[in-house]
Amino acid sequence: MSTTSAYEHFSRLNLVPAEESYFTDWSASESEEIHLDDAFIARQADYLALPQAMLTACQKTAQNISADVQRIMAHSIYRMKQRELDNYLFPTSPKEDNDLDPLLNVILYMQLVEHLRAQHEKMGITEDITRDTLSDLFIWIDDYYQKEGVYGFAQAGWLKNHFCAKLFRIGRLQFEKSKVWDFIRVYKHKSEPNVLIATTEDQQFCTDGLYATANSNGIHRSSQTTWVEEGDVITATCFDPSTGLAEEAPRAFSLDEYELVVQQNDPVLSVHIAASGPMKRDDCLESMARAFPFYEKHVPEFKPKALWCSSWLLNAHFREYLKPDANIVQFMELWNKFPRTKSNGHAFFDRVWGREDVDIETAEQKSSLQKAIIQHLKNGGRWNDMGGIILPEHIPALQSS
């Protein structure tokens, strides 16, 4: 079958992304083997530490995969092995209109476990890192179960980072090869440990210091940012690294004192926090301290300039509502913060109540975090994801060390 006819065939079955280019090298993927027998699925489930009930559900899914779906899976596997991540669209995503089993992508990823293990081994990565990295599969199957009451997996796009060796779990945190997406320039003081984050030209902020492009309904717009360079002196709108909010008055600083260390498009390690129990400060610091040496050793061609994070957990308003020793507050305090451009605040609901459409009058308020989120909204505030930067030389030492 040619690329074009494969595209047409699978489009009719509603099993493919909208792009014909996905089918490039169609004939090359023909020889890719798919394993669906019970013993194979059990071996992978064992490696992935999936409990018996998940294994049984996976075996059932594997038994019912049609020949057409197997063929498109083979092509996916082929592409994943080439690590074709850019503009990659997962072909077999279960959708309302294509009737695919919600565990299908777990079966697909099971086909890639051996390949990834071999790849990690070649990179000199120890097996504990491989297992920890892949433990996300269980977390997301469980998340699906908590929300839908059946086993499934809706994070095929996220897990491609793991299976293309672009993301590793190192201790408590996950680190992904990434770059700075934001309109920021990070300056480091030449002799003191402080950092200044300036925004770039032509940005617009609301009066509360967040981007006007964020969920700013009803909040008045303020003026454009300032960016003036005069000799060695820059006068720019900056973010208060403690709150992440844009400051009203521009700051003037000299390049004699500050040097530019990170800016938009620079390589960084994007930090993620898996939902696997509490995130203690020391565990996070230990992870952060291990991340740069890990990448230097195992991914030497990638030279990250900083840790970067985009998360609901970095919102400094938590300081007003949670105890100072809460893990969330302790984590947030580690970062030099800045606002994200297009935050919609959905994560505050999805990650806490498991859905986005939460009615603040009736929402469950068991934990201090739930109370904090509701109280802030009732006080007239809004919740936005924030960005954070930590330079490698500023990763705090472990308290216990």
Binding site for ligand COA (CB under 6 A): 273, 275, 278-279, 311-313, 322, 326-328, 347, 351-352, 367-370
The residue among 253 and 335 lying less far from ligand COA, judged by its C-beta, is: 335
Shortest distance in whole angstroms from residue 12 CB to ligand COA: 38
The residue among 236 and 273 lying less far from ligand COA, judged by its C-beta, is: 273
Shortest distance in whole angstroms from residue 244 CB to ligand COA: 15
Shortest distance in whole angstroms from residue 272 CB to ligand COA: 6
Q: Please tell me the distance from the alpha carbon of residue 168 to that of residue 386, in angstroms, as a whole number.
A: 22
Cβ atoms 220, 206 nearer than 8 A: yes
The residue among 7 and 349 lying less far from ligand COA, judged by its C-beta, is: 349
Phi, psi of 397 (to 5 degrees): -70, 155
The residue among 200 and 368 lying less far from ligand COA, judged by its C-beta, is: 368
Closest by CA to 313, choosing from 283, 282, 340, 286, is: 340
Shortest distance in whole angstroms from residue 354 CB to ligand COA: 9
The residue among 57 and 332 lying less far from ligand COA, judged by its C-beta, is: 332
The residue among 324 and 380 lying less far from ligand COA, judged by its C-beta, is: 324
The residue among 102 and 388 lying less far from ligand COA, judged by its C-beta, is: 388
Shortest distance in whole angstroms from residue 276 CB to ligand COA: 7
Here the tokens at position 41 are: 């699925």
Here the tokens at position 73 are: 């899976």
Cβ atoms 386, 315 nearer than 8 A: yes
Shortest distance in whole angstroms from residue 167 CB to ligand COA: 13
Shortest distance in whole angstroms from residue 347 CB to ligand COA: 6
Q: Could you tell me the CA-to-CA distances from 339 to 57, 67, 109, 228 in Å, in that order? A: 42, 48, 35, 21
- The β-bridge relationship of strands 258-263 and 251-254 is unpaired
In the chain, what are the helix, strand and coil shares in percent, each to the nearest 5?
A: 40, 20, 45
Contacts of 264 (CB under 8 A, 6+ apart): 180, 181, 182, 183, 184, 185, 200
* CB-CB neighbours of 180 under 10 Å: 21
Shortest distance in whole angstroms from residue 181 CB to ligand COA: 14
Beta bridge partners of 258: 189
- The β-bridge relationship of strands 195-199 and 184-189 is antiparallel
The residue among 103 and 328 lying less far from ligand COA, judged by its C-beta, is: 328
